[in-house]
Structure formats: structure tokens, C-alpha cells
Structure 1
Amino acid sequence: MIGVIGGYGDVGRHAVLALRRAGHPVRVGGRSATAAAEFLARDLPDDPAVEHQTVDARDAGGVESFAEGLDVLVNCAGPSHLTGSTAADAAFRAGVDYVDAAGDDALHVLLDDGRYRGAGRRAVLSAGLRPGLTGLFPRAVAHWARAAGAAYLDTVTVRTRVVDLFTTTSALEYLRGASDPGAGPLVAWRDGAPRPRALTRRTVTDLPFFPGTGTELPQLSAEDARTARALGVRDGDWLTLVQGEHVLAAFDRVHVLPPQEAAGRLCRAARLDLAGRLPAVTMAVVLTGDTATRTAVLHGSGNAPLSGAVAAHAATAVLRGEVPPGRHFAADVLDPEAALTALTRSQAPDVPPCARIELLPDGADPFAPDAVAEVGAL
């Protein structure tokens, strides 16, 4: 059985539904028994393979009791810097493997890798959209490039646009990630290392796969730096495309505000910019190597569905013994192609997949006007 703390929340409910579609019994946890019961009655009525139990992710004893009888505990309650270490330690004491839909570098340092390996236990962190899928997708594209004959990879460009709401938790997670020591605005990967102020923000209009006018914000995160090292590229650009004046203005102010106030501003700005639009995620990865260019574009249905699906896939991989003992980042330890397959495959007749992928012909420049046609899909 797999337990999901925060299992009726924004990300957690998608993780629970994905796990049930994959056939896993699930225990749903959270602070509100009423909210859990309402979620199950609405989305999983009369399902004998689902149970719920009240638990607070910050209560070590409560999490340990919740984890009894589980094989894997998934933490979707946040922000993870306030819940992750407590939940992970409680799961360890209960003899249960651990997956965190968030979990930053600070939590990675707190969890002793040797302790996990010695006990034969596993902890997988950053198993969401960003970080998580943003590290897995470039690795999958690299596999496809090498399969097409590339002996080595030289450069990578990753453009990401998320059109969605912020919850207070996701806003706090974003602010935490943006303050990581490995992160930085205007930083790019140059000659195998981060280079400050290598790029500038710019206004763009009707880029392929990104219609409309927006602002490209260069920023290299700790996960991006790990991805660059894993790919072995010399140079790399990671660009976030923001389309909406309110979120852009909030991004420019939140770093000088107290966390709760900054999170509130991000939530309000996202609501204003999303008005009349559907949530969506677009990620375009362009890799150049010794022989050709390989490009792929991921289209997703929103932050919560993708994050929940990645967390569910990570838990399934742990359960199947596909993750070795130790503590890991999801993008470093999961099979990227298997993860993408899980996201792009419909697991029920009436449930569409939460993502689809376009593959451009080898050598195509996706940002040239003649390179926008969809050539293949996974």
C-alpha cells in the first residue's frame, strides 16, 4: 500500500488518482478527515482499495503511525522545507520508503544517504513538475539524441511556460527554490559551469509553441546545473517564459518581501493572469550534439496534474524495486523515458493523459518559422 499525505490537496489528489489507476491500494492522509472523505466520495466512491486517516505532516509521531503497514509514503503536503524532514524521518523509523513531491537541496543534505543505504531504504525528493519533470524531460531528449547517433551533446536550451494558479504552498515552494544557493537570475551554463549575468531578460512574441507576447526570464536552478552536468553539455540556457503582467510584476517584488506576503502576491497575480485561460504547461528542449540537433516539446495540462503524476510514478518505481537504496533526486534516479511514458499514457478509457510530446525531425530548428509542424507524438 502507498500512503499519500496531503492526498486530497492540489497535487496530492492527482497522485492518489494516478496510483489508483495503476492498481495500487492507497491510504489518503491529511489534517481534515472531512476534506478527505469528501474527496473520496466525489472521485473514488465506494473504492475498497482506498482508506483515509487524519495526519499532520509536521507531527512526527502522527506520521509514523500513519506510515504503519505502508510500503511507500508520498508527501504532497507542503511547503516541504517545513514538512519534509519530519515526514521523511518518521517514514524511516516506520521502515517505509519515502517520496516527496517537492523536497529541495537543503532536505537532500539533511537526509543521510549512508543511513538510507545501510538500512536498505529509499528516499526520492523533487518528484514534481519543477523540480522533477524539468530535469527528467531534458534527459529523455538526450536519450533520443544519442539513439539518433549523437556521440556527445554540446548545448541545451530549455524554455518553460507554466500558465496556472499558485496555491500558498506552491508559492512558498517557488520562493524557496528561487533562493537556493545553486539558483540565480540571468545565470547560464557556460564552459561547464554556472556563469552569472550571462543572459538578459527579453520580450518575445509568437515564438513557436509559445504564441502571444511574453518575457523570457533566464534563471539557472540547482536542478538545472545537475541536469547540465548529467547531459555533459558545454553550454546551456534555461528560460522561463512569463505571459501576464501581474505575475511578472510580482516576480520582481517578492524577493524583498516576507515569505507569506510574497506568496499572497504571487497567488493574487496568478489569478488575475489566468482569467479566461486554461492551465497549461509547455516545455521545449533543444539539444545540439556532434551530428545533429534534437528537439522535443512537452504539452501538459497544468502544474498539479503533472506534479501528481510524477510523484505517483516515483512511488511506483520505488515499489517495483527500480530505485536503489539511498536518498536521491527524482531526475537523477528515475528512468526518464519510463517517466515520460507514464505521463503520456492514458490509464483509463475516460481519462486523457496529462501530457503529450512532439518530436521534431532531427536537425530541425524549432524557433524558425518553418519548424512548427507536429511530426511525431509519444
Structure 2
Amino acid sequence: MRGKVAVLGGYGGIGSHVVRWLHRSGVPLRIGGRRLAAARAFAATALDGMAECRIVDFRVVQSVREFVDGCQVLVNCAGPSRAIAPWVARVAVEAGADYVDAAGDDLLHEQLFPAPYRLRGRTAVLSAGLSPGLTGLFPRAIAAACHADVYAVTVHFQLLDSFTRASADDYLGALADGHTTPHAAWRDGRRRKAALVRRVERTLPFFSGEVTLLPRLTAEDERLARALGLTRGDWYAVVSGARLLSVLDRVRALPREEAAAALCRTSSLDLAGRGPLVKLVVQADGRHAGKPVTRTAVLHGPGKAVLSGAVTALTTLAVLRGQIPPGRHFAADVLDPCAILRDIAGPAGPARVTCTTTAIDAAQRIEEGRQ
């Protein structure tokens, strides 16, 4: 492993967790943003002063070009990703650097033509955060752990955290581009619209309190279903905040500015008195030697920033080690899901994982914090 890593937004919510992980791994770092004093203060307290700090304005091409010059990888943790990532990624490849994006979804993948990356021997890895990212990696790891022909996957994903303005803008953009289909599911090798309906569960196993299940199928989910050869796949967003649920129902009809502000405001209100958390429950069903096999796994994490930062850092390390071929990729498609899970849920990782051979519907409820 060699080369310096430049982290755009390296002292922000996600970026600070990325650089902490890379610093522990011995990676030389350059961190930057529009506030040099903030970057230096963070480096002094969190990185033992062992990072180069620079001013960089991610809205200015020349500023980003100078920031990445001489580095092997540019990691983008600034946002909104949809507004800046397309040209930031192009600046990286023109400077001879690989590119890792903590966000970056299907729209960015379509905008980045793979030829420049392959011809220059460079790599771009997108969706290297929590969702998309870990939400695609975790089911793959659980399916691999079954040691069986997996034909069905059920996923429940709960994120209790506050929206930032950048993450709200990215969320609203993802809704608008058509890569997420509400009420859809995977059936017999294809997307089936209106396959599932919203429902309220008063006692859903592994979750606390009454929750609302919002079925949806994303482009990441479809790629996972195809990769595993599934005949059935159900994905649900699990929402426990009444105020946020009300806003989620209305955001498509609101002006963008008003919708983003409402998401930020109501998510903070629903989080009041509680710490941020992530819960990802995956049930994989398959057959081995003619017998049914079921494995259910629950991942508990401390919030979006911490888990996104861990996945982004591990993606960056894989790029530095030459484990990902040149070209553009989604993180969940090219990373080793079992290795990522071992690191994230290991002794130094931010998450914990519990497993059972019981199906979700038959599982006893597990209260938060109980093994």
C-alpha cells in the first residue's frame, strides 16, 4: 500500500470518520475544506497533527485540481454529491488519481464514462457509504454465510438520524431520478411494481416500538438480486418517527428548498432525546443438499456518519491495495462483503452483528442493546 490520500471534506461529519480510520491504518493524509483553521484543529486533536491541511473550495475546479495533485486517491465526502461529484471525479482522473465517493449513486455512475478510467489505469468507486453501500454489502455477506443456494432475501433498514442539508438534497434527487420504486419488490428475476403495501407493525421482531414499513426497490437492490440470482426479494425502510413519516409522504409535492428544510427539521425533532442509530436486518433463505436453510442477521450501528465513514475508509484501503480493477464501480459490487463485515463488526469496528437461524417472522423480539 502506498500513496497519499486526499479527503475532500475531511473534517466534516463523514469525512472525519474516514480520516480517523485511514490514520489508524497508517495512510498519509491530506485533508481539506473551505475552513483551514477547522481542518488544522481537527488534525491536531484527532490525528496527532499527522495530516497535511489545505484550503480547498469544491466549487472551483482549479482549487480541487491543486488539492488532489500528488495524491494517489481522492476521497469525496463533501456534498451535496449530486452537485459536485461529476466534475470532482473527472478532475481526479485527469490528475492521475483514483476516486472514492462516500455517496455517488446511479446518476453519477451514468455520468462517468468508464473508458478514461480504464485507459489511464485508474479506479472510481461510488456508493461507498451506508446507503447505498453497506445496505448492499451486508445482505451479500449474509447470503455467503448461508453456504447454500439463496433464492430469497428480506431486508429491513432503519436509520434514525438527522438529515443535513447536503444529505437532504441527495435524498430528494434520488427520489426524482426514478432509481427507487415505492411498493416494488423483486419477483422471478425482475422488478414487480405494486407488489407490496405499506403496513404498520406494533411488535416487529428486532425493532423497538411501533414502526411503519415502507416497501421500496432501489437500483442497488436490483443489482444485488441479479448478482445472487434471487427469485424473491423484499426491501423495507423502517420508520419510527411520526413527524418524519408525514414529511416523507409529502416531499415529492413540495418545492425542493421547502422539502429539504422539512426533512432537516423533522428528522432532528424525531431524534430529540435519542442517539442516532442504524439497524439493518437481513433474512436469507436458501437450500443446501435438498434441505431449507435460513439465516437472519441483525446489524446495529451508531449512526450514518460513523458507518458511512467506515465503509468509505475500507473502500479506500481496497483501492490503495490494488484490490479493485480500473474502471468505475459501485462499492457493493466489487468489495469483498465478508471482509468488510469482519472489519466493521470486529473489535475495532463501530457495529455489532447478531445471527440466528430463525426467520424474522418467528423470531422473539430483541430489545435494543440486548445480545
Relative to the length of structure 1, the TM-score reads 0.92
CA displacement at 1:34 relative to structure 2: 2.2
Q: Structure 1 stretches of 5 or more lacking a match? A: 348-352
Q: Which runs of 4+ in 1 moved over 6 A?
A: none
Measure the CA separation in 2 of the matches of 1:252 and 1:123.
34
CA displacement at 1:245 relative to structure 2: 0.7
Measure the CA separation in 1 of the matches of 2:294 and 2:365.
13
Residue in 2 aligned with 1:18? 21
Residue in 2 aligned with 1:71? 72
1:324 maps to a residue whose letter is P
Secondary structure of residue in 1 paired with 2:202: strand
Measure the CA separation in 1 of the matches of 2:83 and 2:77.
12
Contact map agreement 2:315 2:331 (CA 8 A) in 1: yes
Residue in 1 aligned with 2:81? 80
Contact map agreement 1:187 1:218 (CA 8 A) in 2: yes
1:305 maps to a residue whose letter is V
Residue in 2 aligned with 1:246? 243
Which has the larger displacement, 282-291 or 36-45? 36-45
Contact map agreement 1:181 1:222 (CA 8 A) in 2: no
Contact map agreement 1:6 1:29 (CA 8 A) in 2: yes
| Alignment partner of 1:272 out of 261, 269, 272 | 269
Contact map agreement 2:57 2:64 (CA 8 A) in 1: yes
Measure the CA separation in 2 of the matches of 1:278 and 1:85.
33
1:44-68 CA-partner distances (Å, limit 9, x unpaired): 34x2x31111112232211111111
| Alignment partner of 1:208 out of 194, 205, 210 | 205
Contact map agreement 1:76 1:101 (CA 8 A) in 2: yes
Task: Report 1:1-378 matches (<5 A).
Answer: 1-45=4-48, 47=49, 49-146=50-147, 150=148, 152-290=149-287, 291-347=292-348, 353-361=349-357, 364-370=358-364, 372=366
CA displacement at 1:259 relative to structure 2: 2.1
Measure the CA separation in 2 of the matches of 1:154 and 1:277.
37
Q: Structure 2 stretches of 5 or more lacking a match? A: none
Q: Percent identity?
A: 51
Measure the CA separation in 2 of the matches of 1:135 and 1:59.
33
Measure the CA separation in 1 of the matches of 2:110 and 2:145.
32
The count of corresponding residues between Structure 1 and Structure 2 is 363
Measure the CA separation in 1 of the matches of 2:232 and 2:181.
16
Contact map agreement 1:191 1:234 (CA 8 A) in 2: yes
2:362 maps to a residue whose letter is A
Residue in 2 aligned with 1:350? none
CA displacement at 1:367 relative to structure 2: 3.0
Measure the CA separation in 1 of the matches of 2:246 and 2:254.
13
1:282-335 CA-partner distances (Å, limit 9, x unpaired): 000101112311211111110000001111111000000000011000000111
Measure the CA separation in 2 of the matches of 1:371 and 1:337.
26
Relative to the length of structure 2, the TM-score reads 0.94
CA displacement at 1:371 relative to structure 2: 7.3
CA displacement at 1:170 relative to structure 2: 1.1
1:39 maps to a residue whose letter is F
CA displacement at 1:369 relative to structure 2: 4.4
Secondary structure of residue in 1 paired with 2:274: coil
Secondary structure of residue in 2 paired with 1:207: coil
1:12-69 CA-partner distances (Å, limit 9, x unpaired): 1111111111111111111111221232233234x2x311111122322111111111
Contact map agreement 2:206 2:365 (CA 8 A) in 1: no
Measure the CA separation in 2 of the matches of 1:9 and 1:255.
28
Measure the CA separation in 1 of the matches of 2:227 and 2:269.
38
